[in-house]
């Protein structure tokens, strides 16, 4: 027989309303009472029906993850991090892929909020960095958190989890400079992503601080994809004066660049160093493994979900006459340099 909320209340010796408050993570329950209820939940293996709870009450217990990203590893890391935060707080996750370039995206977001009854939104790039989308979300009166490159936070910092792409790209470029590389090619990701501009900015600043010229012919436009890395690397390596190192804007592009170098019988890192960004599985599935910047996407996503849920719960608690805040949520992340075998000393001239 299926365990019900009545069974939990009877075992814990409390009212059904108290059990409901504990399961909903409301702040107005004494720790001792909360423990009795949770012990009963564990003993009975009670599984609350979150979908029914959403339909029955005025509060929503679902948040939506909005994304448009071709990198499956990024999406999975984000999804898992958000899901972990949701489960810990008794919420469900609605995963909503969308086309950020579609003219109907604004109507799509409105329909999602109005018809799916979500408590909040987690927005990832490029949605989180598109002014028109942000204005639409603000007009919907729904809690939201944006995962953004630090340069895109501006005046909306209280709703942002920031990633300092520029600082991390500076460190990667400096690593190559310390190995003696003076001509470093740069493969840009999609222009619609602020991270692309942040990573390019870090690359430029490192060259400037080293007293080296910025050669525009070494900076190529592209997309965050394997094929873009292949094409960009071929273009750089077939030029009259090829670079001794290539900095690709993410690991998928770097893996593509490595593939192109292999086709051209170029040894890595003896003849050419290649580095990426994000520390995705691509960086560990190549040979040699890629030097990169570790971006903790799972933890970033967890913090974003915790922040939006804190906002939603605070709103609910305020409506009930009590305030609630979740402290200790990390708001800023700087990816850290991970040195592997794909970067080595610049070849002697």
Domain ranges of the chain: 5-48, 60-164+296-333, 165-295
d(CA 259, CA 278): 19
d(CA 158, CA 318): 18
Q: What are the start-end ranges of the E strands in 167-295? A: 184-187, 219-220, 245-248, 273-275, 292-294
- pLDDT number for residue 58: 47
The pLDDT tens digits of the residues spanning 145-189 come to: 999 998 776 777 889 999 999 999 999 999 999 999 999 999 999
- pLDDT number for residue 214: 96
Q: Is there a shared CATH topology between the 60-164+296-333 domain and the 165-295 domain? A: yes
* Mean pLDDT, residues 207-220: 97
The pLDDT tens digits of the residues spanning 273-311 come to: 999 999 999 899 999 999 999 999 999 999 999 999 888
CATH of domain 5-48: 1.10.260.40
pLDDT at residue 52 above 60?
Answer: no
What b-and-e string marks burial along 52-76, b requiring 16 or more CB atoms within 10 Å of the CB? ebbeeeebbbbbbbbbbbebebbbe
The pLDDT tens digits of the residues spanning 322-340 come to: 434 455 789 999 999 999 9
60 — pLDDT class (breaks 50, 70, 90): low
CATH of domain 60-164+296-333: 3.40.50.2300
Length of the chain: 349
d(CA 230, CA 222): 10
- Flag the least confident range among 5-19, 41-55, 144-158, 205-219: 41-55
pLDDT at residue 233 above 90?
Answer: yes
- Assign domain 165-295 one CATH number from 3.40.50.2300, 3.40.50.300, 3.40.50.720, 3.10.28.10: 3.40.50.2300
pTM of the model: 0.78
Closest CA to 264 of 295, 231, 290: 231
Q: In what order do the strands lie in the sheet with 273-275?
A: 219-220, 184-187, 245-248, 273-275
pLDDT at residue 132 above 70?
Answer: yes
119 — pLDDT class (breaks 50, 70, 90): confident
């Amino acid at each position: 027989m299926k365990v019900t909320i009545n069974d939990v209340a009877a075992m814990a010796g409390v009212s059904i309303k108290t059990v409901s408050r504990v399961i909903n993570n409301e702040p107005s329950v004494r720790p001792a009472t909360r423990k009795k209820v949770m012990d009963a939940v564990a003993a009975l293996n009670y599984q609350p029906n979150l979908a029914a709870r959403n339909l029955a009450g005025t509060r929503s217990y679902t948040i939506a993850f909005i994304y448009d990203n071709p990198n499956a590893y990024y999406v999975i890391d984000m999804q898992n991090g958000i899901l972990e935060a949701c489960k810990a707080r008794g919420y469900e996750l609605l995963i909503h892929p969308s086309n950020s370039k579609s003219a109907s995206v604004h109507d799509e977001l409105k329909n999602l909020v109005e018809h799916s009854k979500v408590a909040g939104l987690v927005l990832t790039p490029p949605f989180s960095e598109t002014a028109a989308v942000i204005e639409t979300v603000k007009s919907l009166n729904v809690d939201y958190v944006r995962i953004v490159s630090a340069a895109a936070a501006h005046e909306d910092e209280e709703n942002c989890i920031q990633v300092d792409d520029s600082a991390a790209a500076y460190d990667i470029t400096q690593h190559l400079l310390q190995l003696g590389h003076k001509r470093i090619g740069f493969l840009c990701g999609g222009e619609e992503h602020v991270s692309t501009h942040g990573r390019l900015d870090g690359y430029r600043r490192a060259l400037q601080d080293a007293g080296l010229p910025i050669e525009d012919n070494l900076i190529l436009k592209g997309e965050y994809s394997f094929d873009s890395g292949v094409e960009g690397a071929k273009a750089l390596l077939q030029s009259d004066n090829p670079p001794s190192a290539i900095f690709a804007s993410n690991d998928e592009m770097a893996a593509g660049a490595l593939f192109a170098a292999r086709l051209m019988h170029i040894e890595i890192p003896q003849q050419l160093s290649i580095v990426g960004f994000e520390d995705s599985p691509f960086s560990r599935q190549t040979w040699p493994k890629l030097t990169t910047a570790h971006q903790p996407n799972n933890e970033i996503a967890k913090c974003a979900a915790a922040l939006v849920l804190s906002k939603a719960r605070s709103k609910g608690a305020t409506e009930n006459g009590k305030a609630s805040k979740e402290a200790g949520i990390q708001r800023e992340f700087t990816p850290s340099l991970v040195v592997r075998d794909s970067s080595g000393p610049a070849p002697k001239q």
